[in-house]
Structure 1
C-alpha cells in the first residue's frame, strides 16, 4: 500500500462527504464543524472557481439546487457568492476558509471544473498542501494536468478509465500515488467486490467507497476490506466504526 503521508492512518478511513449534510447544509463550515466535533480527520469537499478566480467549496456548477438561484458559480464574482446562503442558512465557504479553520485535517478535494485547475494548483503550492490532500476529478484530462504540474508528491483519485483498467487487468500505468475512490456500482455493473479489492491490493492502491449512508452496507464493505468509506451520515459511520473497534478519530 502506498505510504503517501495522506494515507498514514491506522485502520479504515472515515470520510465526511461534503462535511455531512444531516446536521447542516452540505459543504458549509457548519457541516464540517459538526464532523470535526465527532472526531473526523478526513473531510471531503468539492471546488469550483468564481468569475474572479476564487476557489469555493461547492459541489454543483449552478446554484439552483442549494440556493434556489438560476446562476452559475463561474459567472459570479466572490463578493456576490459571499452573500448567498445554502438552504437559506449557511454561507458558501472558500476553500481557503476550510484550510484556515482546520489546518490539521486532511482534505479530499474534487476538482469540479477546468477553471478550477489553475487556482487549485496555486493554492496547493502556496500552502504546501501535498502531504494533507488527495485530489480527484472525473476528468482524466484534469487529473493529468494536476499530476503533471504538481508532480509525484500529489496523491490523486483515479479517473473512470483508470478504474476500469484496475478492475479488468489489475494494474495501472505510471508510479504516481493514487487512490481508487469509487461507488459500489456503476449502473448494473458492480465495481467493488472481492476481485476489485484484490486487484487494488496487488497494485498498492487503497479503495475508498462513496457515498454510503446505510449501516449494513458500511459493514459489508469493511468486511470486504475497503480502506475507507465516505458518508453523508457522519454519526452513523462513526458508530459503525466504533462498533467494529476501528474508529480512530
Structure 2
C-alpha cells in the first residue's frame, strides 16, 4: 500500500508525461477486463426524457446494466427522481401552477408533482411521462435486473435525506448483501452527505463527485469508494493516484467520469484507466470503449507507447 501511494504521488507531481499506459484495474464496479463500464446518465437521457421510467427502459433496451439518477425531496417528504432544484426545465409546472414561482421541488407536494408532464419537453412521443418516486424508479431498475448509481442531489436543502433514501432502499430490498456488493453506489457532491451515508450504512459503497487534490485523498478514502470527476478535470496521473488508495471496503478507489457523449472522448478517458464512464449516449460510448476499443498511444518521455 505504501509503495503504491508513494508511486502515485510522485507520478501526480511529475505530470502525465511520466505515465505509462494504465494496467487493467479490477475494482468493485469494473468488470476487470481493463475496459470501463458504461453508465446511463439519468437513464439513457439522449433518447428518452431524463430521470423518467422511460429512460430506464431505454437503457435496458440498449443493454446497459448501470443507470444513474438524482434524488430530491418534496414538501411533504416524498423522495422523487429529478435533477434540477426547480421543476421548470423538465416539466410543465409553469402551465399547471403559474402562480408558484420559483417552482422549487421542495415547495410542492408529491401529489402536485405527480400531476406534471415530465415528457413533452423532450418530444411528443413521451407526453404524459411522470416524475417517478424513488420507489417507482428502484422497482423499474430491479425489473430490468440493472444496477443503480444514485446521486443525492442538493442534500443541504433536505436535512436527513440520507436516512430517508437508505430507508427506501432497505424497504425495496436494496440493502441486502447482493445489492450492496455490486449493484448499488450512492454518490454526491457533498462529502458530508457521503459521510452520513457511510456512518448509517457502512456496507453501502459511495462515490464523491469531484476531483479532490491528491493530498486530500487519504481523508476521502475513509468514507468514499469512488472519486468521480468530470472528464475535463482528468489526467492519467490523477486516475493512477486515486487507484493507489484503498477505500473503506478494502479495495482500491475507483474512478467514474462524467458526462462523456462522444466516441473520441470516451476512448481518451478509457486510455486514462477509468473504471466507468457516465454518459447520455451509452450506445455510442459502449461501441467506442468496449466493442471497438484499441488503447490509444501515449507519449512518454519523447517516445510513443501503446500504439
* TM-score normalised by L of structure 2: 0.70
Pair 1:239 & 2:291 matched: no
Pair 1:135 & 2:186 matched: yes
Q: Is the 8 A contact 1:2 1:177 kept in 2?
A: no
- Judged with a 3 Å threshold, the aligned counterparts in structure 2 of structure 1 residues 146 and 223 are, in CA distance, closer, same or farther, namely same
Pair 1:180 & 2:227 matched: yes
**How far apart are the structure 1 equivalents of 2:26 and 2:89?**
38
Deviation at 1:122, TM superposition (A): 1.1
Q: Is the 8 A contact 2:261 2:280 kept in 1?
A: yes
Q: Secondary structure at the match of 1:109?
A: strand
Q: What whole-Å deviation, never above 9, does each CA across 1:17-76 have from its counterpart, x for those lacking one?
A: 001222211111111111111111100000011122221111011001111434121121
- Judged with a 3 Å threshold, the aligned counterparts in structure 2 of structure 1 residues 147 and 93 are, in CA distance, closer, same or farther, namely same
- Judged with a 3 Å threshold, the aligned counterparts in structure 2 of structure 1 residues 9 and 213 are, in CA distance, closer, same or farther, namely same
Q: Secondary structure at the match of 1:134?
A: strand
1:30 aligned residue (28, 38, 54) = 54
1:122 aligned residue (167, 171, 190) = 167
Which residues in structure 2 correspond to 1:52-201 (within 5 Å)? 52-69=76-93, 70=101, 71-88=103-120, 89=127, 90-103=129-142, 104-114=145-155, 115=158, 116-126=161-171, 127-129=173-175, 130-131=180-181, 132-151=183-202, 153-158=203-208, 160=210, 163-165=211-213, 167-168=214-215, 171-172=218-219, 174-176=221-223, 178-185=225-232, 191-201=233-243
Match of 1:188 in 2: none
Pair 1:230 & 2:278 matched: yes
Report the structure number with the largest CA radius of gyration.
Answer: 2
**How far apart are the structure 2 equivalents of 1:55 and 1:9?**
31
Q: Is the 8 A contact 2:185 2:206 kept in 1?
A: yes
Unaligned runs of 5+ in 1: 186-190
**How far apart are the structure 1 equivalents of 2:152 and 2:30?**
23
Q: Which moved more, 1:9-18 or 1:224-233?
A: 9-18
Deviation at 1:169, TM superposition (A): 6.0
Deviation at 1:172, TM superposition (A): 4.0
Q: Is the 8 A contact 1:17 1:231 kept in 2?
A: yes
Deviation at 1:138, TM superposition (A): 1.1
Deviation at 1:2, TM superposition (A): 7.9
Q: Which moved more, 1:125-134 or 1:232-241?
A: 125-134
- Judged with a 3 Å threshold, the aligned counterparts in structure 2 of structure 1 residues 192 and 52 are, in CA distance, closer, same or farther, namely same
Q: What whole-Å deviation, never above 9, does each CA across 1:162-213 have from its counterpart, x for those lacking one?
A: x323x3466445544511111023xxxxx31121011022111111110001
- How many residues in Structure 1 have an aligned counterpart in Structure 2? 235
Q: Secondary structure at the match of 2:277?
A: strand
- Judged with a 3 Å threshold, the aligned counterparts in structure 2 of structure 1 residues 45 and 39 are, in CA distance, closer, same or farther, namely same
**How far apart are the structure 2 equivalents of 1:137 and 1:169?**
17
**How far apart are the structure 1 equivalents of 2:234 and 2:119?**
33
Q: Is the 8 A contact 1:54 1:119 kept in 2?
A: no
Pair 1:214 & 2:262 matched: yes
